């Protein structure tokens, strides 16, 4: 029976903690951008919000995959 790799599990939980922070930060940045559409910095702030939102999704997948690998092991690559 396979045991859980606790170090990898902690790493995955750290990725998910960062994801939670980014999941609150990205909508806040986008809200500020759309609240000030007439401002000259609208586009840079809007693009920054979209990048942070995409990074949150990536970090979420990475965290979940790390947790799954810690519990079930890595899948062997088939050639």
In tens, the pLDDT along 14-34 reads 999 999 999 999 999 999 999
Scanning 1-79, the segments in alpha helix (DSSP H) are 6-35, 42-72
| Average pLDDT value for residue range 32-49 | 93
Q: What percent of the chain has pLDDT over 90?
A: 75
Q: Cα–Cα distance between 44 and 60 in angstroms, integer?
A: 24
**DSSP annotation of 73:** -
Contacts of 73 by beta carbon, 8 Å cutoff, 6+ apart: 2
Q: Cα–Cα distance between 17 and 32 in angstroms, integer?
A: 23
Contacts of 64 by beta carbon, 8 Å cutoff, 6+ apart: 12, 16
């Amino acid at each position: 029976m396979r045991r859980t790799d606790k170090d990898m599990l902690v790493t995955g939980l750290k990725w998910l903690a960062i994801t939670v922070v980014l999941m609150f930060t990205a909508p806040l940045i986008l809200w500020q951008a759309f609240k000030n559409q007439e401002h000259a910095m609208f586009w840079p702030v809007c693009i920054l919000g979209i990048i942070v939102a995409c990074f949150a999704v990536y970090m979420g997948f990475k965290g979940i995959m790390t947790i799954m690998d810690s519990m079930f092991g890595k899948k062997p690559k088939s050639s």
